[in-house]
Amino acid sequence: FAGDFHATLNGKNAFKRINELINLPEEKTNDLPLKTWSAQDQLKIKNLKFTYQKGTEIGPVSLQVQGFKKIGIIGMSGSGKTSLINLLSGFLTPDQAQIELQGQETTTMNIPAWQRQMTYIPQEPYVFTKSLRENIAFYNPQASDDEIKQAIHIMGLDDLLNDLPNGLDTVIGRGKRVLSGGQSQRIALARAFLDPKRKIMIFDEPTAHLDIETEIDLKKRMMPLMQNKLVFFATHRLHWLKEMDYILVMDHGQLVEQGSYEQLQQNQGYFCKLMAGMRGENNDQ
């Protein structure tokens, strides 16, 4: 009875959320004819603002990015990291923004040509109720079995493949083969590895729910994927920050600081207080 009750409640809540999404106004899109992101390209954002229906505000955000960079986004829970990620991905439409992308003006990042060259990995990547082959080849359906197996090997999924009764043809996902959080993340990363043509990577705390041993192993496998890419990486794990070329510091929906790791340390501003707080240090010392 308890199981059925909770299943029914989950279904009602999901249905309510689906109706909310259906009734949302259609997101604005911009059909800019973008080319594949290169080392010379620039993204300039000025005075980007967004307000949720409940009144929570994000922004103003202003930043400028050129070429292949790893951009870290740091802040406490609720600081606006995921909202900024969703705005950069085009999943949310800002209330206002002056954006210049590859020399062209727009007011939103909801641009099909931008999203077609983007790899997005959230906290809990979605595993489709399909075969392991189809899950990994999501971005590149024409990939050969050899290419898929290479991605599996590089992401440390050989043991999973060997355990599956039908190999690549084994159906995984909801109600099928149960996967750990680490395995789901590795599948998402294998997808990214399998399509090197996508030059933009957007991560929303992809290791937030993993134990530290799994995270460190995945970090070794993730860093090579970020070479020659534009990367936006939201995280609350401090050990990632030294790997970033530039860092955006969020607090209560605002971009309060930005710069390299060394610059932010020298500034002795909110970033340093945030670092000390996350380490459990006494900020008064």
**Pairing mode, strands 96-101 and 104-106:** antiparallel
For residue 218, the model assigns a pLDDT of: 85
pLDDT value of position 112: 95
Q: How many DSSP H helices and E strands does the chain contain?
A: 10, 10
Which positions ≥6 away from 162 have C-beta within 8 Å? none
pLDDT at 281 over 60: no
Q: Are 80 and 248 in contact (CB under 8 A)?
A: no
Give 285's pLDDT tier (boundaries 50, 70, 90): very low
pLDDT, tens digit, 9 for 90 and up, residues 213-270: 888 888 988 899 899 999 999 998 888 999 999 999 999 999 999 999 999 999 999 9
- The answer to whether 38-117+199-285 and 127-197 have equal CATH topology is yes
Whether the pLDDT of residue 283 is over 60: the answer is no
pTM value is 0.86
Return the structure tokens found at 275: 């670092």
Least confident of 11-15, 19-23, 66-70: 19-23
Domain-by-domain residue ranges, the chain?
A: 38-117+199-285, 127-197
Look up the CATH number of domain 38-117+199-285: 3.40.50.300
Residues recorded for the chain: 285
- Check whether domain 127-197 has CATH 3.30.420.10, yes or no: no
Q: Please tell me the predicted confidence (pLDDT) of residue 284.
A: 42
What does the buried/exposed string (b/e) look like for 245-277 if buried means 16 or more CB atoms within 10 Å of the residue's CB?
Answer: ebbbbbbebbbbbbbebeebeeeeeebbebbee
- pLDDT more than 90, % of the chain: 66
Kindly report, residue by residue over 94-120, the tens digit of the pLDDT.
Answer: 999 999 999 999 999 999 999 999 999
> Residue 113: its pLDDT value, please?
96
pLDDT tens-digit readout, 152-204 = 998 889 999 999 999 999 999 877 788 888 899 899 889 988 888 899 999 99
